[in-house]
Amino acid sequence: VLQRTIARDFTLHGVGVHSAAPVAIRVRPAPAGAGISFVRSDLSGPAAAPIPAHIDALKSAQNSTNLANGAGGEIATVEHLLASCSALGLDNLLVEVSGPEMGIMDGSAKAYAEALIAAGVTTQAGPQRRAIEVLKPVEIVSGAKRAALTPSEARVFDVTIRFTDPAIGTQRLELMLNPAVFAAEVAPARTFGFLADLEAYQAKGLAMGASLENTIAIADGRVVNPEGLRYPDEFVRHKMLDAIGDLALAGAPILGRFEGDQPGHALNTQLVLALLADETAWRWVELPD
């Protein structure tokens, strides 16, 4: 099975959900073996060096997943694009971004997934596609939160969220990941937040670009957005989207079963680090189609 990139480049425009910075995002094909990387097209000098979409470049993972190149170049909120690339089986891309944060678009990965699909997939001569096969369970526990990877022949995501707010409650979803399932069941699920938390977030400079156009807002036990939800369990689907994007930072598809109980970016990225740090927990394998 050969590696894959997109057939044609494309450009999307958006704003950062935290920074509110407007950005142009140009996604271009990249050579076999290059992997996925970001370049800050608004910077020059060492800061404009590529930022690999790899856990080694992780800068922070609190409210979003943010990468840096060690020379002053940073790119925030990469998880929705990376989830799309991982789920659609794209190995090599160059993502040029004209600002500090990826566009939030409509709060989901729908725009990214649709643009990548429309750009077409092309296979590349050179090294084969590889995956990281999970050989034994790896687990991260943080209070009541848990994330784990266990061996599985398929890429399975099993995510549970538990909120006291009745608008969300407890939701669980288990899916076997493939491009069609991602596009139909996961990519359109939007990010969400509680209106009561907005002021505190914005006092910290977070969620400055959040609006009802890109976030499901919850207040008084209800969804505020007039259009309602895209799925009755849209919230757990979005957490699954985030987990797929965070696990993509392993640098290759993880062949295994992800189990997340109240997962978040911090837990997900710690899990990737724990997996890669234990050489007995995984091995490289050629990826079946």
Binding site for Zn ion (CB under 5 A): 191, 242
Catalytic pick among 18, 80, 238, 265: 265
Pick 104 or 140: Cβ nearer Zn ion: 104
Q: Which residues contact 271 (CB under 8 A, 6 or more apart)?
A: 138, 139, 140, 147, 148, 149, 247, 258
**Residue among 28 and 59 whose Cβ is closer to Zn ion:** 59
Residue nearest to Zn ion (CB): 242
Nearer to Zn ion, 43 or 186 (CB): 186
Q: How many whole angstroms separate alpha carbon 137 and alpha carbon 150?
A: 4
| Minimum distance from residue 73 beta carbon to Zn ion (Å) | 22
CB closer to Zn ion out of 79 and 91? 79
Cβ–Cβ < 8 Å for 3, 126: yes
Cβ closer to Zn ion: 148 or 243? Answer: 243
Shortest distance (Å) from residue 105 CB to Zn ion = 11
Q: Residue 61 CB, nearest distance to Zn ion (Å)?
A: 12
State the minimum distance, in angstroms, from the CB of residue 70 to Zn ion: 25
d(CA 188, CA 207) in angstroms, rounded, equals 20
Question: Shortest approach of Zn ion to residue 236 CB, angstroms?
Answer: 12
| 265 is an active site residue | yes
Q: Judged by CB, which is closer to Zn ion: 86, or 191?
A: 191
Alpha-carbon span 217 to 263, nearest angstrom: 20
Q: CB of 80: closest distance to Zn ion in angstroms? A: 6
- Catalytic positions, written as ranges: 265
